Structure 1
Amino acid sequence: MIVGRTFFIASASAALSLMQIAPSMAGDVHVEPVTAYVEANIRAWIEDPVIIEALKSQNVLHAHLTQAAIDDLDAMWRTEFASDAHPLIDTVVGNPLSMFLKDRQIASGGVITEIFVIDAKGLAVGESEISSDYWQGDELKWQKTYLAGASALFVDAAEKDESTQMLQSQASLTISDPNTGQPIGAITIGINLDAL
């Protein structure tokens, strides 16, 4: 009788453990299809000269920025985001890289919801859609790619966009200099999971 009770308790404990694991595993089911989409459709163009040259140029321009200066630029961006005048935002979203990214977003047929390229300081270089902040260096999309080294890929959690009701995830990749293999920035791509 004690053996039967012990078996029952052990089985119940194992079942409860599986039930606790299942929700987190269910929350990651998007990772494989997002990774497959990135490998098939995105990795081939992240070393395009438009991206590489824009990153190299901004990295030189921002090489000596202090964290205080980065914070000031981010505060300026956030202020402009909420106003009618936005010279800093316009320099980013109006540049050739942003036009290139917008074209890639359109060519995806609704799978890609946004694309932005981030420099070695974590600041936006180009965006297909205007983001609410300029500095991404405090976010996993930059920390788990650029800081992780060449070839890094990070697929973030799936979330429902309240305005569009679209289920989406962001995939982020390190961008490396094709000549040296050294990381020079990162790219983040918003993926509409309902369109995969």
Structure 2
Amino acid sequence: MYTRSIKFALAATVMALGVQGSLAAGEHVPAVKDYASANIMPWISDGAVVAAIAAQNKANSALTQAEIDALDQKWRAGVDGGDTTLIDAVLGNSLSDFLRDKQMASNGVITEIFVMDSKGLNVGQSEVTSDYWQGDEGKWKKTYGSGDAAAIFVDEAEKDESTQMLQSQVSMTIADASGAPIGAITIGINLNEL
């Protein structure tokens, strides 16, 4: 029943998009937050998610910004057809398998999921991202970077011209069992399917 009312509210919003040509600023935010609260928050504290972030935080604790930039360049080169060793390692880990399962179970509502560590580096993901370091972007800065363990940031709605899909991203801080922020997660939401 609760999910049905979210779908109804967003369907009305998407129908209005067809008439008006664009969403009013923030009009999609309540429905996306409701979806995240009901369907995503229950599993972001899963042991598999928290353990993977904690392990990467420990492994990356001494990385300098220059090293982070080099890793990001290596990732971007792999996306462009170069060495994909780093991409393959992230896509092949158990957290990425977990995230792909969550995306598949969403019946088309979730278009991508990626988890970031305390440096803003990808820990696991359901799809390949264009970059490895998210630490310079709002999705990380307004969640983990804010220091707020309960932070939720919903980005603007955008229409993909090739697929005609209206999409937004919702990002949230991930905390450990003690409530301390350890990383963040970003989920792409297909507003047409929500």
TM-score (norm 2): 0.86
Q: Which amino acid aligns with 1:181?
A: G
Matched residue, 1:41: 39
Q: Size of the alignment, in residue pairs?
A: 173
Matched residue, 2:7: none
Structure whose residues are more often helix by fraction:
1
Q: Are 2:176 and 1:174 aligned?
A: no
Offset of residue 162 of structure 1: 3.2
Matched residue, 1:129: 127
Alignment of 1:112-127 (within 5 A): 112-127=110-125
Matched residue, 2:154: 155
Q: Once superposed, what is the RMSD of the aligned Cα atoms?
A: 1.5
Q: Secondary structure at the match of 1:167?
A: strand
Structure with bigger gyration radius: 1
Offset of residue 161 of structure 1: 2.0
Alignment of 1:68-107 (within 5 A): 68-83=66-81, 85-107=83-105
Offset of residue 96 of structure 1: 0.3
Give the Cα–Cα distance (whole angstroms) in 1 for the partners of residues 187 and 87 of structure 2: 19
Give the Cα–Cα distance (whole angstroms) in 2 for the partners of residues 85 and 62 of structure 1: 21
Offset of residue 25 of structure 1: 8.2
Unpaired runs of 5+ residues, structure 1, are: 1-23
The CA deviation string for residues 84-137 of structure 1, in whole angstroms up to 9 with x for no partner, is 540000010110000000000000000000000000000000010000100000
Give the Cα–Cα distance (whole angstroms) in 1 for the partners of residues 161 and 70 of structure 2: 29
TM-score (norm 1): 0.85
Give the Cα–Cα distance (whole angstroms) in 1 for the partners of residues 90 and 39 of structure 2: 24
Offset of residue 164 of structure 1: 2.1
Give the Cα–Cα distance (whole angstroms) in 2 for the partners of residues 139 and 147 of structure 1: 10
Give the Cα–Cα distance (whole angstroms) in 2 for the partners of residues 25 and 99 of structure 1: 34
CA contact (8 A) 2:23 2:157 kept: no
Matched residue, 2:109: 111
The CA deviation string for residues 129-173 of structure 1, in whole angstroms up to 9 with x for no partner, is 000100000000000000222010000000112332210000000
Offset of residue 184 of structure 1: 0.2
Percentage identity across paired residues of the two chains: 60
